[in-house]
Amino acid sequence: MTQTPLLSVRDLRVEFPTRRGILKAIDGISFDLKEGEVLGVVGESGAGKSITGTAVIGLLEPPGRIAGGEVLLKGERIDNLSQQAMRKIRGKRIGMIFQDPLTSLNPLFTVGEQIIETILTHLPVSERQARDRAVALLEEVGIPAAADRLNAYPHQFSGGMRQRVVIALALCAEPELVIADEPTTALDVSVQAQIIRLIQRVCRDHGTAVMLITHDMGVIAETADRVAVMYSGRIAEIGPVRNVIKAPRHPYTVGLMGAIPSLTGDHDRLTQIPGSMPRLDSIPQGCAFNPRCSLVMDKCYRDRPDLVQAGESRAACWKVSETEEAAGR
């Protein structure tokens, strides 16, 4: 019997109504996330990575709206819940780590007050037990003198320490899933590696699944089990991280991997993807990547490709479809 995925996104579409018409930010994406799995979501700015995360957790900024599809948590739909019902799921079943720690932390309250309140809201424990759990969590994420720092305000922590507090806050109610949206972007390089290792270790110890949103393929390579490469609101390629990195199938993924410097110095020049991501109001017909693709065919200008099996991965590319058909797969 097939196990029900922890998170299942089916044909999700997100729109933003504007005076000039409706802009499609997410255009029919589907993926699953298993319990305890780390799924990396990668792509350029504007690809739709963060909007996917906020749509899953029900935090889309108006006038953004889910225009179609389903989001299921252990087989139960959550995209059509009321705000009150969704608030019970956020924190308790789904935790969130934002790019800017101050988005999650209220500057008027101590970090201890905020963590303890979240624990008391979602778990059946006493105030003393909640305080002990808060101290234990801060110690687990590497905050020194945790019992004393419980009484400190967010501004009294460095950027890296604030992000550690946010990780503790995201995990304090023992969620099944954590959505981490660019959790290291605002941090120094040395601190970035510490935070990534921390998320990896803490979530593994707690058995928590992670949806890791980033533009950094290096972070994905170190952390994720599978990776979804997004482009213009769609998934261009998805598969096991080793396959996607070692043998990318979509031309966009090939370009992303070619743009990463090699430590061995095997390449004289890095691959450059010409042009830039199209704006939401000017996404071309057919494959959205066609203006930047070196393998473009007539069909790419007319018809939009769906994800097809390509080895262990799936890629949305007409060239891949032809190759797989020729191989008789």
Mean pLDDT of 137-156: 95
- The answer to whether the pTM exceeds 0.85 is yes
- Check residue 167 and give its pLDDT: 93
Phi, psi of 150 (to 5 degrees): -60, -30
Torsion of CA 308, 314, 315, 319, to 10 degrees: -50
What is the rounded average pLDDT for all residues in the chain? Answer: 91
The answer to whether 78 touches 19, Cβ cutoff 8 Å, is: no
Question: Which H or E run contains 73?
Answer: strand 65-73
Distance from C-alpha of 200 to C-alpha of 235, rounded to nearest angstrom: 24
What is d(CA 249, CA 305) in angstroms, rounded to the nearest whole number?
14
Q: Calculate ∠ Cα 112-115-151, nearest 5°.
A: 5
- Determine contact, residues 63/30, Cβ cutoff 8 Å: no
Please check the confidence at residue 153 and state whether its pLDDT lies above 70.
yes
| pLDDT reported for residue 253 | 94
How many CA atoms, within 13 angstroms, populate the side-chain half-sphere of residue 51? 29
For helices 111-122 and 159-171, the axis angle rounded to 10 degrees is 10
Give CA–CA dist 308/314, Å, rounded: 5
pLDDT-derived band of residue 14, with 50, 70 and 90 as boundaries?
very high
Topology adopted by domain 7-224? Rossmann fold (3.40.50)
Q: What is the predicted pLDDT for the residue at 209?
A: 95
> Strand (E) positions, 182-231?
209-214, 226-231
CA torsion angle 88 92 95 96 (round to 10): 30
Average pLDDT value for residue range 222-229? 94
- Phi/psi of residue 112, each to 5°? -65, -45
Q: Say whether 305 sits in a helix, a strand or coil.
A: coil
Give the residue-averaged pLDDT of 283-309.
Answer: 95
For 242-257, the pLDDT digits (tens) are 999 999 999 999 998 8
Sign of the CA dihedral with 82 first, then 34, 29, and 226 last: positive
Q: Give the distance, in angstroms, between the CA of residue 30 and the centroid of all CA atoms in the same chain.
A: 14
Neighbours of 143 (CB within 10 A): 21
Strands 38-42 and 226-231: parallel
Q: How confident is the model at residue 267 (pLDDT cuts 50, 70, 90)?
A: low
